[in-house]
Amino acid sequence: MAYDLYVGPANWRDGPRDHVGSVEVDELPAFSRLIKRGDVDFVERLSNLFDDQAFDLGEIERALDALLPLLHASLHPDERTLLHKLIAMLSFASRRQQGLHGICD
């Protein structure tokens, strides 16, 4: 089961959106380790792969502010891979100035 992430308008049904990545159930252990590293609401919300989520620009910027410093941390390899994936998706949404939407399937 994949949790797909899209970047698009605030109401994701209102216009075209770009698929920017997927999160798989087997990545949950890496999510758990990232959650323990600090108060990152974005990671906690995204780790619930069974609920659709929507993140506005403010939430995207706060998530980047919280995750970017972790690039300097000593991380488990799968944790670092997940961190890079999350930063890439958030950066794309930030650059586009559009929301990020997690859609469970």
pTM (2 d.p.): 0.90
Residue-number span of the structural domain to which 32 is assigned: 2-104
Backbone torsions φ then ψ of 49, nearest 5 degrees: -75, 0
Contact (Cβ atoms closer than 8 angstroms) between residue 103 and residue 17: no
What is the model's pLDDT at position 16? 77
CATH number at residue 26: 3.40.1760
Q: What is the pLDDT of residues 26-77, one digit of tens each?
A: 998 998 898 888 778 899 888 887 888 999 999 999 999 999 999 999 999 9
Structural domain count, the chain:
1
> Is pLDDT above 90 for 20?
yes
What is the model's pLDDT at position 87? 96
| Coil, strand or helix at 74 | coil
Rounded Cα distance, 46 and 28, in Å: 10
Rounded Cα distance, 89 and 5, in Å: 8
> Is pLDDT above 80 for 98?
yes
